Structure 1
Amino acid sequence: MEVQTRHTPTFGVARIVLSQGEAVEAGAETMIASSFGVSESRTGRGKGPSVFTAPEGGGWIDLAPAHPGDVYPLEFDGGAGWSVARGRVLARPATVRADPAWPALQSLFGSDSGFLEHFSGTGQLVLSTNGPVDALQLAAGEIVTVRPAFVLAYPDSIQVRLRALDPVGPQSVRSGEGLALDFAGPGTILIQARSRA
């Protein structure tokens, strides 16, 4: 699978180029166009994602999120996984898997689903963002605080702590309201330049 982006960072479109028989999962509503012969099948009932599969000879599919912003291909090398803001995945190949029971997120959110989800594997996970993507490079021992509404993704290799901004104020692990994430380097944090709220 190869990802080509255009119209970034304001109105991003991702062209997913697939080899013969290769497939990618994406929301049906995000599909703009495809080369002839790309097939679509639903993974579940109702509004579940679709699986787009390339025919003999390969093909391509153009995807765009419903909101303005960037599209960002996040590379997975089979090593460390990434925590990604919930609802930000535009396209996922079968080689990148969702890890709903990943222990580090359970320690952050407890039994709640939280505002992050975890992925691992190999290939490119295509993310949709609000605004352009900034990569914050943290040196060893450097600590930054980021509001959850701006976090796009961070790797397993970085240290993170979730805390309340005001211990007596309203807080939500589902939306990130009233919370902050403290990150300690070394590592890279991907943030979106506009809040997802």
Structure 2
Amino acid sequence: MRVHTRHTPAFGVARVTLNPGEGVQAEAETLLASSFGVTSAQSRKGAPPVFTAPAEGGWVDLAPRDPGDVYPLELDGTTGWSVARGAVLARPATVRRDQHWPALQTLFGGDTGFLEHFSGAGPLVLTCAGPVEAFTLEQRELVTVTPGFLVAYPDTVQCRLRALDPAGPQSVRTGEGLALDFAGPGTVLVQARARR
């Protein structure tokens, strides 16, 4: 699977080129167009469909619901990534969503937080509210990020969630009233516009 982006950063579209018989999972309403012969099937009830290329291969063009950038994040098979909930546009079968990732359970407790964890190998295509910027952190270097601007960070980065104002309203589901402190080494991806 290969990903080529265009019309970025304001109205990103991702062209996902598939090998013969290869599939990519994406929400049905994000399919802009596909080469002839690409089929669509749901792997399980409630899951997004998988678009599969015919014997000669093919492609799908995917466009996010909202304006913004698309960003292919290449997972190397050794390091997982925590990603803002709702930011995944497409993923191959070789990248899995880790529903009960221990580090996120520690971060959010028993609640469903504003992050999801992914691991495996291949391109995880992300949708962002604005252009993506990378903070490359050295050992012991620190940065604080507002949750609405966060796109993703790898397992190599240490993360702490804290209240901006302990007396103010806070939500682990949306990130309202919270801040994330990161310590390197690693790269933290943010977007230039806050997610709505």
Normalising to structure 2: TM-score of the pair? 0.98
SS state of the match for residue 11, structure 2?
A: coil
Counterpart of 1:4 in structure 2 is: 4
Q: Please give the alpha-carbon distance, in whole angstroms, between the structure 2 residues aligned to 1:89 and 1:144.
A: 24
Counterpart of 1:36 in structure 2 is: 36
SS state of the match for residue 29, structure 2?
A: helix
Q: Please give the alpha-carbon distance, in whole angstroms, between the structure 1 residues aligned to 2:80 and 2:90.
A: 16
Q: Please give the alpha-carbon distance, in whole angstroms, between the structure 1 residues aligned to 2:98 and 2:42.
A: 21
Task: Quote the sequence identity (%).
Answer: 69
Shift of 1:44: 4.2
Aligned residues: 196
Q: Please give the alpha-carbon distance, in whole angstroms, between the structure 1 residues aligned to 2:141 and 2:155.
A: 16
Structure 1: runs of 5+ lacking an equivalent: none
Note if 1:129 corresponds to 2:128. yes
Shift of 1:166: 0.7
Moved over 4 A (4+): none
Structure 2: runs of 5+ lacking an equivalent: none
Q: Please give the alpha-carbon distance, in whole angstroms, between the structure 2 residues aligned to 1:17 and 1:100.
A: 27
Shift of 1:42: 2.3
Counterpart of 1:168 in structure 2 is: 167
Counterpart of 2:194 in structure 1 is: 195
Q: Please give the alpha-carbon distance, in whole angstroms, between the structure 2 residues aligned to 1:53 and 1:186.
A: 37
Amino acid of the structure 1 residue aligned with 2:79: A
Note if 1:113 corresponds to 2:74. no
Normalising to structure 1: TM-score of the pair? 0.97
Counterpart of 1:22 in structure 2 is: 22
Q: Please give the alpha-carbon distance, in whole angstroms, between the structure 1 residues aligned to 2:49 and 2:128.
A: 20
Counterpart of 1:57 in structure 2 is: 56
Counterpart of 1:180 in structure 2 is: 179
Counterpart of 1:69 in structure 2 is: 68
Shift of 1:50: 1.1
Shift of 1:45: 4.3
